[in-house]
Structure 1
Amino acid sequence: MWHNVRLLNMLANTLIALSMLAALAVGARWLMQRPMFALRAVVIDGNADHINAATVRADAVSQLRGNFFTIDLDAAQRAFETVPWVRHASVRRVWPNQLAVSFQEYQPLATWGDGQLVSVDGELFAANLAEAEEHGKLPEFSGPPGSEKEVTSRYYDFVKWFAPLHMKPESVTLSARYAWSLRLSGGMQVRLGRERGDNTLALRCQRLVEAYPQVAARWGNQIEYVDLRYPNGFAIRAAGMQFLNDKSAQQQSN
Structure 2
Amino acid sequence: MRRPARFVSRFISGEVEAPPYLMLALSAALIGGFSVYGMVAGGHTSSVLQAVTARTGFAIDEIRVAGNVETSEVDIFDRVGLDGYTSLIGFDAEEARKRIESLPWIQSVEVRKVYPATLEVAVTERQPFAIWQRGSLLSLVEEDGSVIAPLAGMQHVTLPLVVGSGAAEAAAGFVAKVAEVPGLASRVRGYVRIAERRWDLHLHSGLTVKLPEKDVEAALRELVELDREHDLLTRDVEVVDMRFANQVVVKLSPDAASARAVSMKERLGKHYRPAERRT
User: Taking structure 1 as the reference length, what is the TM-score of the superposition?
Assistant: 0.68
Q: State the shift of 1:220 in Å.
A: 3.4
Using the alignment, how far apart are the partners of 2:198 and 2:82 within structure 1?
Answer: 44
- Gaps of at least 5 residues in structure 2 are 2-39, 274-279
Pick which of 96-105 and 31-40 moved more: 31-40
Q: State the shift of 1:124 in Å.
A: 1.7
Residues 1:228 and 2:242 aligned together: yes
Q: Percent of aligned positions with the same letter in both sequences?
A: 21
Q: Does structure 1 retain, via aligned residues, the 8 Å contact 2:207–2:237?
A: yes
Aligned residues: 216
Matches for 1:57-206 after TM superposition, within 5 Å: 57-58=77-78, 60-62=79-81, 67-113=87-133, 114-120=137-143, 122-133=145-156, 136-144=157-165, 148-161=168-181, 163-165=182-184, 167-195=186-214, 200-206=215-221
Equivalent residue letter for 1:213: R
Equivalent residue letter for 1:155: V
Q: Which residue in 2 is equivalent to 1:8? A: none
Q: Does structure 1 retain, via aligned residues, the 8 Å contact 2:178–2:184?
A: no
Aligned CA-pair RMSD: 3.6
Q: List, as ranges, runs of 4+ consecutive aligned residues in structure 1 with deviation greater than 4 Å.
A: 28-33, 248-252
- Gaps of at least 5 residues in structure 1 are 3-25
Pick which of 186-195 and 118-127 moved more: 118-127
Q: Does structure 2 retain, via aligned residues, the 8 Å contact 1:108–1:132?
A: no
Q: Which residue in 2 is equivalent to 1:19? A: none
Q: Does structure 1 retain, via aligned residues, the 8 Å contact 2:49–2:90?
A: no
Compared with structure 1, are the counterparts of its residues 107 and 174 closer, same or farther at alpha carbon in structure 2 (3 Å cutoff)? same
User: Taking structure 2 as the reference length, what is the TM-score of the superposition?
Assistant: 0.63
Greater Rg by CA = 2
